[in-house]
Structure 1
Amino acid sequence: MENSLVMAFDSTQQALRAEMLLEYAEIEIDLCPTPKEITAGCALSIQFGSEDLKRVTEIVHDQSVEIRGIFRRSASGYEEL
């Protein structure tokens, strides 16, 4: 995915819940392993296009999904937004 962002979680339950909510909202996502540069309690992350950032953050906030953070790949690894 070009210009993709990664949302990391502290629990698998929250990752799977977010996956379900985002798929229901018809946002194109990929469930992927959490990059080793991101410290999180869950081995699963969700990758999505940066053009969907606003909708993703609205859904996560409105549905009280607990996330570790949303990250963008940078030259030095990943930086939190």
Structure 2
Amino acid sequence: MKCVFVFESVHRVMKAEKFLKGKGIKIDLIPVPREISSDCGVAIELSGDSEAEALLILRENKISVVDCYIKDLSGRLEKKKEILRDEDVTHEH
């Protein structure tokens, strides 16, 4: 199983690539699949095993993932219902 991360701009994809590769996460830059509507033409594909760690790294570096899709062995994409975004986290004082 693979995950596909979609971002709002190519600039964010490049920043995400830098941070993820810097932490040793194996990723591939891919064209955004036709089934996915996005303003950005490039997405990041990675192993499903790396998804949680990758999202944490991106969140720590303030890089928002617009959507996350699960890609099964047949290549079919399914949008994840929820991904953790900064605005979803409440901070207790």
Q: Specify the TM-score bucket, using the shorter chain as the normaliser.
A: 0.7 to 0.9
> Could you tell me which of 12, 30, 33 is aligned with 2:31?
33
Shift of 1:78: 2.2
Shift of 1:64: 1.0
Which residue in the other structure is 2:61 paired with?
63
Shift of 1:24: 0.1
List structure 1 segments (4+ residues) > 2 angstroms apart after TM superposition.
none
Residues matched between the structures, number = 78
Shift of 1:66: 2.2
State, as a whole percentage, how many aligned pairs show the same letter: 23
Which residue in the other structure is 1:78 paired with?
77
Q: RCO higher in 1 or 2 (8 Å CA, sep ≥ 6)?
A: 1
SS in 2 for 1:38: coil
Which residue in the other structure is 2:5 paired with?
7
Distance 1:67 1:57 in 2: 8
Q: TM-score, normalised by structure 2?
A: 0.77
Q: Residues 34-78 of structure 1, C-alpha deviation per residue, up to 9 Å, x if partnerless? A: 001111111000000000011011011111112211101257x42
Please state which structure has a larger fraction of its residues in strand: 1
SS in 1 for 2:3: strand
Aligned residue type for 2:79: E
Distance 1:62 1:80 in 2: 23
Which residue in the other structure is 2:87 paired with?
none
Which is higher, the Rg of structure 1 or of structure 2?
2
Shift of 1:33: 0.4
